[in-house]
A and B are shown apart, each in its own frame.
Chain A
Amino acid sequence: MSKIIEVSQLNFSYPVDEGMAPAHALHDVSLEIEEGEFVAILGHNGCGKSTLAKHFNGILKADSGRVTVLGLDASDEKNITEIRRNVGMVFQNPDNQLIATVVDEDVAFALENLGVPYDEMVKRVDEALEMVDMTRYRHHAPHRLSGGQKQRIAIAGILAMAPKCIVLDEPTAMLDPKGRREVMKTITRLNRERGITVILITHYMDEAVQADRVVVMGEGEVILDGTPKEVFQNVGLLHSLSLDVPQTAELMFALRQEDIKVPIAVLTEEDCIAELEKLLGGVTHDQN
């Protein structure tokens, strides 16, 4: 596998008013994303997740350190279009990222910017809408759609560029449970079936456990990085970062604190039930 994004020793602070100490939003962050991976980024509010994400496609420029996307240096203005075409980004609020007043025109926006010829554009808009299962809404006005549908249109607008990687910054935070499920289904399908690299910033643990890899951030630094199983073993550390862990892991953690021997990271409900059955010696089967 080749690396799609390489971040090394990245430092960044937002400009502040004169006389104030610069607030370090990112401090010595190093991270590598492999092509085809599904990475979740966790961290409490204001720890720098969005700031990091905006470095992945050159929306923000590093103060020091290097960001390389597909081997291209993100600090070089010449590479920016190529980088943005390959690393698309979806934001939290769907209302603030839809530009046109008709769905298909919005999906075409990036293609217009890239100067894609008309016939090719029509084809790619159709494909993108198909991929997010929104073809029948192509002539609708975005502001009449549900949150989940709007977010899928935003994803389609990115997919139209045929990117290798999509970065989603809390795409489900403003959605109801149904909208969340729709969007998560779309994201996982794009990753599994199309091999698109997905970087998902989220506050929801049930979304993070669906990833291949979880990166935990705190105060502008990467604190944990590993598979969901590895990361969610550190229940105490995660709690100290004011983060939740999946409820199943929470239960196992509580049992272990009572000196009951169970594995540490159990992430799915089925596994959890299996563990509990083992523990109770099959009692649950006798109940009815």
Chain B
Amino acid sequence: MLKDITIGQYFPGKSFMHRLDPRMKLLLTVLYVVSLFLVPDFWGFLVIGAVIALVVASSGVSLKVVFRGLKPLMFIIIFTAFFNILYGGGEPLFPNISWLAWIKTEGVRNALFMIIRIILLIMGTSYLTYTTSPVMLTDAMERIFRPLKVLHFPVHELAMMMTIALRFIPTLIDETDKIINAQKARGADFETGNIIRRAKALIPILIPLLISAFRRAEELADAMECRCYQGGEGRTRYKVYSFSWRDWAALGIMLLAMATIILFMIF
């Protein structure tokens, strides 16, 4: 039952987006988000919209997936919209209906602006994770942040921790399933009762899981030592990334979009 969780929601594939260098994808996402916040008016969204349309078309991941991901965020979106309307100025939108007087043109405009911005933000960042495996993401981050090592920031250690966590998530999920079934077979009940009762019922799952996780960690540490692991110093990498024409093309398009938006801002 826990198998349905897909961390980071990655959809394996071989599309244009999938084949972009993960470092470039991270950079593009940053540029995309910055551009999005630079957008001065609704016309600017057309440019961002065009960019995201290209992304969707070249990713092989359907838009439906994004909208499914938006549903849990509906509350935040509606909340934001409501407060924007509440505090917005301008003329009343419905001058003849007295109890709707608080809805003003400026407020509605702001609310719409925010909704579009949030949706575009979620779409852009979602397509990063849809087309980049978590391991590639951590790998890319390790490479991008490598210069921070000079400041004694533990870049390699953090990346290694992430990699191991990602590697063990499926293993631990399998194990949780097994423990749940074992406890159920002993008559444990996880589905009825109030919250406190249910939380208590989780203890016989968490404790064995924790003990086993510690044992695994110990064995893993031995196994890593056996394979000469001594931290990030002097390591070479098996996976090499190189920028191809795709990366430069994608960067070109993104920079073009960004320049257009900056022009919008100035004029």
Residues of A within 8 A of B (CB): 54, 57, 59, 81, 84-85, 88-89, 91, 93, 95-102, 104-105, 108-118, 121-122, 125, 142-143, 154, 157-158, 161
Task: Tell me if B216 and A89 are in contact (CB < 8 A).
Answer: no
Q: Which of B13-21, B88-96, B159-167, B179-187 contacts A (4 or more CB under 8 A)?
A: B159-167
Determine the chain A residues whose CB is within 8 A of the CB of B219 once the complex forms. Answer: 91, 93, 96-97
The answer for the CA separation of A176 and B234 in the assembled complex, in Å, is 40
How far, in whole Å, are A148 and B215 apart by their CA atoms in the complex? 21
Bound CA span A89–B219, Å: 12
Q: Is B220 an interface residue when CB atoms closer than 8 A count as contact?
A: yes
Cβ-neighbour of A117 out of B163, B215, B236 (below 8 A): B236
Residue on A nearest B164 in the bound complex, by CB: A99
Decide yes or no: A113 and B230 within 8 Å by CB, A97-B223, A98-B167, A99-B220 being known contacts: yes
B interface residue numbers (CB < 8 A to A): 133, 135, 163-164, 166-167, 170-171, 174, 215-216, 219-220, 222-230, 234-240
CB atoms of B237 and A54 under 8 A apart: no
Known contacts A54-B222, A112-B236, A118-B240: A99-B167 contact under CB 8 Å = yes
A81 and B230 within 8 A (CB): yes
CB distance from B216 to the nearest CB of A (A): 5
**Do residues B236 and A85 form an inter-chain contact, with CB atoms below 8 A?**
no
Q: How far is the CA of A97 from the CA of B171 in the complex (A)?
A: 12
Beta-carbon contact of A85 and B228 below 8 Å: yes
Pick from B135, B235, B236, B238: contact of A101, CB below 8 A: B135
Tell me the smallest distance from the CB of B28 to a CB of chain A, in Å: 24
Question: 23 A-B Cβ contacts within 8 A?
Answer: A57-B226, A81-B230, A84-B225, A85-B228, A88-B226, A89-B222, A91-B222, A96-B220, A98-B167, A99-B164, A99-B167, A99-B227, A101-B135, A105-B238, A109-B229, A112-B237, A113-B227, A118-B236, A118-B237, A142-B167, A143-B171, A143-B174, A158-B227
Least Cβ–Cβ distance between A119 and chain B, in angstroms: 10
Assembly CA distance A91 to B222 (angstroms)? 9
**Interchain nearest-CB distance for B262 vs A (Å):** 40
Q: Which residue of A lies closest to B230 (CB)?
A: A113
Does B164 lie within 8 Å of A114, measured CB to CB? Answer: no
Distance in angstroms between the alpha carbons of A110 and B174 in the assembled complex: 27
User: Whole-angstrom distance from the CB of A123 to the nearest CB of chain B?
Assistant: 12
Take A101-B135, A113-B235, A118-B236 as given contacts and tell me if A84 and B222 are in contact as well, using a CB distance cutoff of 8 Å.
no
Chain A residues near B235 (CB, 8 Å)? 112-113, 115
Instruction: Report yes or no: B226 in contact with A59, Cβ–Cβ below 8 A.
Output: yes
Determine the chain B residues whose CB is within 8 A of the CB of A96 once the complex forms. Answer: 215-216, 219-220, 223
Closest to A85 in B: B228
Is there an interface contact between B228 and A114, defined as CB atoms closer than 8 Å? yes
Q: Which residues of B contact A121 (CB under 8 A)?
A: 236, 238
Residues from chain B with Cβ under 8 Å of A91 in the complex: 219, 222-223
Report chain B residues within 8 Å CB of A115: 234-236
- Chain B residues near A118 (CB-CB < 8 A): 236-238, 240
- Given A81-B230, A97-B219, A99-B220, verify A143-B170 contact (CB < 8 Å): yes
CB atoms of A113 and B229 under 8 A apart = yes
Q: How far is the CB of B113 from chain A (nearest CB, A)?
A: 41
Assess whether B171 is in contact with A109, with CB atoms less than 8 Å apart.
no
Chain B residues near A57 (CB, 8 Å)? 226
Closest to B168 in A: A95
Using CB atoms, name the residue of chain A closest to B170.
A143
